[in-house]
Amino acid sequence: MSPEEVAERLNGRPSGDGWSARCPAHEDRSPSLSIAAGDKGGTVVHCHAGCEPSAVVAAVGLELRDLAPDTPSRDDAVATYRYTDENGRHLFDVVRRPGKRFHQRPADGRTGPGAMKDTRLVLYRLPAVRKAVAAGTSVFIVEGEKDADRLASEGWCATTSPQGAGKWAKVADHAREVLAGAEVVVVADRDGPGYKHATEVAESLRPVARSLIVVEALGGKDVSDHLDAGHAVEELVEVDGTEAPVPDPPPPVRLTDWAAAFARPPVEAVVDGLLFPGRWTGFVAPAKAGKSTLALHIAHRLARGLEPFSAGHRPPEAVLYLDGEMGEIDVVERLDAADLRPADLGLLAYSDLPPKGDTVQGGAAIVSTAHRLGASVVVLDGINAFVRGAEKDDGPWRALYEHTIGPLKRAGVAVLTSDNTGKDVTLSARGSSVKLDKADGVVLVKRTDDGVRLTTTHARTSSYVRELTLNVTGTDGTAPISFTVSPFAWPAGTLDAVALLDSLGVPATAGRPACLAALKAAGEGVRTEVLAAAIRWRKGSGTPPGTRLGNTSGEHP
């Protein structure tokens, strides 16, 4: 069953390269089901709330096998091209099978080695070619029967040789006789073998043709690509000579100017220990652990010029929040519960119908939207919704990085994604092992009695917080939801580090790079986790001095 048919059954609506619908396997207030074509055909359904595909299809009276792609036999013919003599008598066929496999089959149906022995090889569509030459109209010579048929369907006379590129010699004498005095247009495929074949054809026919030019597609590889792109046959481009053009040498690799790199001012974190310009942070969590709630909280606090985990103020950030997890209804409910109104959300751009980021077009749409908004943070909530293929496949995740996440990072944008863990939460995200392999930091989000604990499981830099415990209030609806640093989360030595930074005159708003630079200049050193805690304290995330910090070492923080 096709994706269109499944979407129609579920009253789905178009979304990116597929459809979205309410999942029939659970009470679904907003569309949480994605429907798309599989990489190898068939239909893929994915419930972002976690329903199994078998439960989804069973709820509408289907079975998983109904979604499977058709599996034609490897020997089923995809196309058959008939070759005839001048009078239309059947000589042989060229048969195309799956996987671009071709073979010739004589008119009498013989098969096996030697079946084509003594069979006359001729140009494709020979009667039409003879007629065109007699009428003085142009004859196009292309590489392959499919392209010849395509030109014929557009009203042109086109032919090809029966055994593809590199086999022109087998019909060269016959072709010179047929095309003597003809106006010939040789269409070269835009690759090495294609140019070589066009050269061979042109050199063979130029002595006998009345005129001969070699052309190529304006874009794409062949004339079918040219026509598919909306170009006319008259827009085929004449090739300057028939040899493959020598491409311009690639630009040299850009080399780092060390002096400029070391002189560059330090880049401050967007959220200390979690979000950084030009880096990708991946939240992973068991289902219902609150990762989307946390991501939305961080996003609206940054957009409003507030520290995410304290009452402190900061310069506001433009944030693009692309939602593949919750849906607009749920998000509005959560923002309303936080006592927010449209006037508070001017710098928070939101969409629950994001494009697929593993496509060229989808990635370009996301990146260009971020640039247009001047976004310094982009959130991809529910990362599985941003690819077309199955999460266990490697290809979609490499493409998502290439087309979306990589360009955002290179533009200096902080990228935050969210995903579910597999059954073994120690193995990071569910699905393909390459899903998060390019993430700069992978942070596990787990529920605690009073909130959530963030633990960095993988990181490319020591800038990421090792562990951060957050208290959560307001989940019972009595107050806006708020995340604050737990009073029991301060390592021993925190107050000493705070005092040292104060004595060095480091601004209270300074992040890790500026603090490290000041400590280095003073010949001082502070452990990474202690420095991170001191920075949070100084930015207003800390508990006032004198309160209990849960420090079991017996030392003050």
Residue at 114 is within a domain: no
The type of residue at 370 is: A
| Alpha helices, DSSP H, located in 185-257 | 192-205, 223-228
What CA–CA distance (Å, rounded) separates 196 from 489? 70
272 lies in the same domain as 231 = no
Confidence class of residue 500 from pLDDT cuts 50, 70 and 90? very high
Residue 330: in which H helix or E strand, if any? helix 328-337
Q: Say what the pLDDT of residue 426 is.
A: 47
In contact, 337 and 477? CB cutoff 8 Å: yes
Q: What is the pLDDT of residue 100?
A: 65
| Listed range (49-63, 82-96, 239-253, 351-365) with the worst mean pLDDT | 239-253
Question: Residue 74 — pLDDT band, cuts 50, 70, 90?
Answer: very low
Would you say residue 116 lies in a domain? no
pLDDT tens per residue across span 263-313: 887 778 899 889 999 999 999 998 888 899 999 999 999 999 999 988 888
Q: Do 497 and 530 contact (CB within 8 A), yes or no?
A: yes
| Residue 215 pLDDT | 93
For residue 470, list its beta bridge partners: 452, 485
Lowest mean pLDDT among 46-50, 58-62, 246-250, 390-394: 246-250
Domain co-membership, 272 together with 223: no
Instruction: Tell me, yes or no, whether 168 and 20 share the same domain.
Output: no
- Model pLDDT, residue 430: 52
> Do 277 and 398 fall into the same domain?
yes
Show Cβ contacts of residue 177 under 8 Å, excluding neighbours closer than 6 positions.
Answer: none
What local confidence, expressed as pLDDT, does residue 373 receive?
95
Domain boundary pick from 223, 238, 253: 238
Q: Is residue 80 part of a domain?
A: no
- Decide which of 109 and 420 is more confident: 420
Write the DSSP assignment of 35-65 as a string of letters: EEE-TTSSEEEEETT---HHHHHHTTT--GG
- pLDDT(175) > 90: yes
What's residue 425's pLDDT?
47
pLDDT at 156: 94
> Among residues 380, 385, 464, 391, which one has the least CA distance to residue 434?
391
Tens digit of pLDDT for each residue in 395-408? 889 999 999 999 99
Same domain, 469 and 334: yes
Share of the chain above pLDDT 90, in %: 43
Is the pLDDT score of 19 beyond 90? Answer: no
Report the C-alpha dihedral over residues 386, 427, 378, 265, rounded to 10 degrees: -140
User: 334 and 422 share a domain?
Assistant: yes
For residue 158, which of 182, 138, 176 has the smallest C-alpha distance? 138
User: Is residue 392's pLDDT more than 80?
Assistant: no
> For residue 136, what are the domain limits?
121-238
Q: Are residues 378 and 437 in the same domain?
A: yes
Question: What percentage of the chain has pLDDT greater than the value 70?
Answer: 90
Indicate if 505 and 482 belong to the same structural domain: no
Please state, in angstroms and rounded to a whole number, the distance separating the CA atoms of residues 80 and 77: 7
Q: Residue 165 belongs to a domain with what CATH number? A: 3.40.1360.10
Domains in the chain, number: 4
Q: What is the pLDDT of residues 504-532, one digit of tens each?
A: 999 988 888 889 989 999 999 888 878 88
Determine the average pLDDT of the residues in 6-24.
83
Residue range 454-471: mean pLDDT, rounded: 87
Cα 263 to Cα 261: distance, rounded to the nearest angstrom: 5
Q: Are residues 415 and 541 in the same domain?
A: no
pLDDT of 89 higher than 90 = yes
CA 362 centroid distance within chain: 7
Interatomic CA distance for residues 221 and 184, integer angstroms: 20
pTM of the model: 0.52
Q: Are 286 and 419 in contact (CB under 8 A)?
A: no
Q: Tell which wins on pLDDT, 332 or 484.
A: 332
Final residue of a domain: which of 458, 486, 514? 486
- Does residue 30 lie within any of the structural domains? yes
The answer on 274 and 216 residing in a single domain is no
**Pairwise CA distance, residues 509 & 526, whole Å:** 18
Single residue among 486, 504, 525 that ends a domain in this structure: 486
Residue 109 lies in a domain: no
Tokens (6 digits) for 336: 């309303």
| Claim to verify: residue 232 and residue 271 sit in the same structural domain | no
How many angstroms separate the Cα of 490 from the Cα of each of 142, 354, 459, 468, 543?
73, 39, 21, 9, 9
Is residue 95 a part of any domain in this protein?
no
Residues 473 and 407 in one domain: yes
Q: What would the pLDDT profile of 178-218 be if each residue is shown by its tens digit?
A: 999 999 999 999 888 889 999 999 999 999 999 999 999 98
**CA angle, corner 348, sides to 343 and 353, nearest 5?**
120
> CA-based angle 118:123:125, to the nearest 5?
120
Domain contains 438: yes
Residue 81: inside a domain = no
Residue of 324 and 480 predicted with greater confidence: 324
Per-residue model confidence (pLDDT) at position 549? 37
Please give the Cα distance from 215 to 198 (Å, whole number). Answer: 9
